[in-house]
Amino acid sequence: MIRVLLVDDQDLVRIGLRTLLETEDGFEVVGEAADGLAAVEEAARARPDVVLMDIRMPGIDGLEATRRIVARPELAAVRVIVLTTFERDEYVFEALRAGASGFLLKDTPPPRLLEAIRTVVDGGALLAPSVTRTLIAEFVAEQRRPVSPHPQLDQLTAREAEVVGLVAQGLTNQEIADRLVLSPATARTHVSRAMIKLGARDRAQLVVFAYQSGLA
């Protein structure tokens, strides 16, 4: 059973999400919140597997709520999916930096939303679509972020650094294996070791580290 916390300041949005999840096997809505502060409190209380997090809310917004949730050691296993209205939402990259595992548009078809929740619970990330890769690249370029190498970057082998760069391009383990002529298991091992060395929560954070470190 996947435990989900719903965070949105619009009652109708939360009602719609709850209705969707409660009619599907394998999902349980364990709490709701209408603002960021309540979201942090509910996450601490309910210990959900996934938080569906709106960005623009009264009080502290979804970005700050995400930062506070992922910063709490007891909530290390919680994954946050940011829900946004616009494909080019100015806060998407910041949400990923804050620790979100990915983002979805609020008009995402229900089957895709359910698949996304399962994906992040299984350790994946919602970063494969080309629009996401383009979006992240645009934010990095537009904000002229200086390269700031991760302090543990030198612990990566040359191959691991190469793999991290490919992860940042949105490639799956299978695609990385095909590109580098490796077995999928070897590609997965490189990704896992890079995540451990860099202290990345998931592939989404690995992508952010790659951009910040100049690997992508």
Has residue 62 been placed in a domain?
yes
CA distances from 130 to 50, 60, 134, 169 (A): 24, 31, 6, 9
Same-domain status, 104 and 205: no
Same-domain status, 93 and 177: no
Same-domain status, 48 and 104: yes
With cut-offs at 50, 70 and 90, classify the pLDDT of residue 130: very low
Same-domain status, 10 and 82: yes
Q: Across residues 24-42, what is the average pLDDT?
A: 95
Across the chain, what does the average pLDDT equal? 85
Report how far residue 191's alpha carbon sits from residue 185's, in angstroms, rounded to the nearest whole number: 10
Has residue 131 been placed in a domain?
no
Same-domain status, 172 and 65: no
Highest mean predicted confidence (pLDDT) among 84-98, 114-128, 132-146:
114-128
The DSSP letter of residue 73 is G
Same-domain status, 28 and 111: yes
Q: How many domains are there within the chain?
A: 2
Report how far residue 214's alpha carbon sits from residue 216's, in angstroms, rounded to the nearest whole number: 5
Buried b (16+ CB within 10 A) or exposed e, 160-171: bbbbbbbbbbbb
Pairing of strands 50-54, 27-33: unpaired
Q: What is the pTM of this model?
A: 0.75
**Residue 106's CATH number:** 3.40.50.2300
With cut-offs at 50, 70 and 90, classify the pLDDT of residue 128: very low
**Residue 169's CATH number:** 1.10.10.10
Same-domain status, 117 and 18: yes
CA distances from 146 to 89, 99, 136, 185, 214 (A): 22, 20, 15, 34, 9
Same-domain status, 184 and 108: no
Q: Please, which residues bridge with residue 31 across strands?
A: 5
Has residue 113 been placed in a domain?
yes
Task: Find the domain containing 49 and state its range.
Answer: 2-126
Same-domain status, 54 and 102: yes
Same-domain status, 120 and 15: yes
Report how far residue 118's alpha carbon sits from residue 124's, in angstroms, rounded to the nearest whole number: 9
Residue 28 has pLDDT above 60, yes or no: yes
Same-domain status, 112 and 203: no
Has residue 35 been placed in a domain?
yes
Residue 168 has pLDDT above 70, yes or no: yes
Q: Across residues 84-103, what is the average pLDDT?
A: 74
Name 125's Cβ contacts closer than 8 Å, sequence gap at least 6. 101, 102, 119, 202, 203, 204, 206, 207
Has residue 167 been placed in a domain?
yes
Q: Across residues 111-131, what is the average pLDDT?
A: 73
Same-domain status, 42 and 75: yes
Residue 82's nearest CA partner among 97, 215, 72, 156 is 97
**pLDDT at res. 140:** 58
